[in-house]
Amino acid sequence: GPEAAGNSKKSQSGYVRSARKPTEEKVRRSAGATLSQPYKTDWSLAKDEHWVYPDKMFTSYTFLLQPQFEEYAGSIDEGKKKLMAEPTKYQGLKYQSNMADWPAESQKYHLLLRNGSGFEPKKVTSGQFTYVEAVYQRLPHHESEHVDMENKDPHTDSMMYQGKPLGDPRHPGRGHGCVDVPHLKVIGDIHPNDISQGTVGDCWLLSAISAMSEFDGAIKALFRKTDAIHEMPKEHLNRYVVTLYNLSTSQNAWQTVDIEIDERLCSTSDGSRLLGCQPSEDAELWACYLEKAIAIHCGGWDELDGGHCTHAWRILTGCKEQYTFMNNGGGFECLGTKNPNTDKWEPLENSPQKGFQGLWP
């Protein structure tokens, strides 16, 4: 039955199952609600010194919701002052590039309201328009190629997806257009709603992670070898250790393995968006890093395209005895990877695309 907030109960599996916090404490959305109900970022924690105002020229742009602009007649410099005075209200300023050389009384500009539109100009060397953006840079900015090799993990730069090299990875909170908000964190109030699938076909994995996040402490335990996880990310290049289980019979099967990754999140081949999991609506990163670690553990992003939830649970928990209950039309049957003819478990690999992939009744 329902439990009072704060109560907990120990299950037979050993996990502590806690009552969820009241619904108003965590943003909840129905499927498909992202565009109609944009998340309202709380800018109350924003510090003036963390705002930066880069500009770029463009001709075309993309968006998720229709951008809302306020049009003004007046000097572009005055428009920039308005933007810098209210960066939490306005996301940026747009003006015709050649208009900057016109007399001030002939100039005009548009201020873009922060409405979660996802407005993204496509930068070009010489464009018809110029866009000045108000970017909140919670952490010091640095480009991925300028990070010392000893501070990078050995995987991110060489990873591919569907035969294509990936675009430049993004650093959350460093002005790369990836979670540039003041309340950025790795782990907060862990909840299934923190998970938002990217372009990789790994719903089998994310659904297992979502179910696991219902158990208090289960996700945090996977990051147990990352020091001060609740204080991260910090100003230096952050590194995280995720502890998973090895399934390969040739490499100490069912033993734990530590996957160390850096803070960079992989992007699509054209660099337009994150490849994997999106950060949560309230700026948590744990799902992004857990998915990245599992991709590395399994041999790459392509290895995550298709699989079974039970395979994910083996990697996450080290529990071999996983079963699938399937309705065959005349009732449910129990399926697993234990061969009833030999009374032995079939050999597996970390990748769901390799090793035994069938199911025994």
- Given a contact cutoff of 8 angstroms between Cβ atoms, the answer to whether 345 and 339 are in contact is yes
- Given a contact cutoff of 8 angstroms between Cβ atoms, the answer to whether 350 and 248 are in contact is yes
- C-alpha to C-alpha distance for 34 and 96, rounded to whole angstroms: 31
- Given a contact cutoff of 8 angstroms between Cβ atoms, the answer to whether 283 and 185 are in contact is yes
Angle at 129 between CA 126 and CA 133, to 5 degrees: 105
User: Phi and psi for 84 in degrees, rounded to 5?
Assistant: -70, -25
Could you please report the per-residue DSSP string of 102-120?
S-GGG-EEEEEE-SS---E
Annotated catalytic residue within 203, 277, 288, 309 = 203
Is 277 catalytic? The answer is no
- C-alpha to C-alpha distance for 295 and 353, rounded to whole angstroms: 12
- C-alpha to C-alpha distance for 229 and 240, rounded to whole angstroms: 8
Instruction: Report the SS3 class of residue 167.
Output: strand
Active site residues: 203
